Structure 1
Amino acid sequence: MSGSGAPKPEPADCHDLRVAVVAASWHEQVMDGLLAGARRAFDDHKVEEPVVVRVPGTFELPVAAATLAKGGYDAIVALGVVIRGGTPHFDYVCRAATDGLNRVALDHLTPVGFGVLTCDDEQQALDRAGLEGSHEDKGYEAAAAALATAVALRRASRPY
């Protein structure tokens, strides 16, 4: 299981950042956990009013994230889950979401927290969803990463 070696930064004060979450709707229990984790990260980082946009599935995350980035958000958190099935659909959706969200970040110079779970089965997703009994909280991690990157970029863009 992943998770070892993860950084443990102190939450920064992000009350002045405009932050949005785009979240898929498939696998409701997992998605509820991911969203709750992102909200915990926002609370820890003092994000005041994050916008939450729900889309049907993980495939739709990039277009929603691009729209939000174009709207001037300082950080975006993308949350979704894809569980492997018996067809190549898993590979196509995972690749499209990953490449699309990376393109959003680079094209718009906006941090995008990657909270897309790509799992072999539902138990792996539940173990990463930040629910009671989960081993990891990928919603929290994705939100914290997006916020930390937004803060770092803001600092880097300030003249000395």
Structure 2
Amino acid sequence: MSGKGAPELTVKNCGDLRVAVVAASWHEKVMDGLVEGAMRALHELGIDEPTLLRVPGSFELPVVVKALAERGYDAVVALGVVIRGGTPHFEYVCQGVTQGLTQVSVQTGVPIGFGVLTCDTEQQALDRAGVEGSTEDKGHEAVTAAVATATILRTVAEPWRQASGA
């Protein structure tokens, strides 16, 4: 199971963060589960007004995530699923999405929750999507990781703001 060894994160004092979720549209049942898990996590964290945007597919995630990161969001969560087929398309899309989201995070300094499932089968995706019968809830996990990172970054930024008078 890929979720074995996942950390148990406790996130506090984050209700004032601006968080957006960007979700692909392919594989509707999987995506509905990921989005539901993400929105549930945000609610549990006290973030009551997140932005939710849908894009056509996973390949479109980085450009929209970048636009949100540049517009003052404290964290952005990318949700998608790519299921292996019989062509190299899987590798190209997975690599492009992963590198694109990593680049956005590093360039903007905004945490990007990586909730993009890269699976060999639809059943593997369903097992991770947080739907009934799933063993994992990657939408929830992606939000928790992004928000936890945003709160860590806030503690790094605060001493600088205080010292500079900002």
AA at the equivalent of 1:158: E
CA deviation after TM superposition for structure 1 residue 138, in Å: 0.2
TM normalised by structure 2 equals: 0.94
AA at the equivalent of 2:7: P
Q: Which runs of 5+ in 1 are unaligned?
A: none
Q: Which runs of 5+ in 2 are unaligned?
A: none
Distance 2:7 2:40 in 1: 17
For 1:27, the equivalent position in structure 2 comes to 27
TM normalised by structure 1 equals: 0.98
CA deviation after TM superposition for structure 1 residue 96, in Å: 0.4
Q: Write out aligned runs for 1:94-133 (5 A).
A: 94-133=94-133
Give a deviation string over 1:30-63, Cα, whole Å, max 9, x none.
0000000001110111012000110000000000
User: Contact 1:129–1:138 (CA<8 Å) still a contact in 2?
Assistant: yes
CA deviation after TM superposition for structure 1 residue 4, in Å: 1.4
Distance 1:73 1:109 in 2: 11
For 1:44, the equivalent position in structure 2 comes to 44
User: Which structure has the greater CA radius of gyration?
Assistant: 2
RMSD across aligned positions (CA): 0.9
For 1:88, the equivalent position in structure 2 comes to 88
SS at match of 2:133: coil
CA deviation after TM superposition for structure 1 residue 17, in Å: 0.5
Percentage identity across aligned positions? Answer: 64
2:42 counterpart of 1:55: no
Give a deviation string over 1:129-149, Cα, whole Å, max 9, x none.
001100000000000000000
Q: Which runs of 4+ in 1 moved over 3 A?
A: none
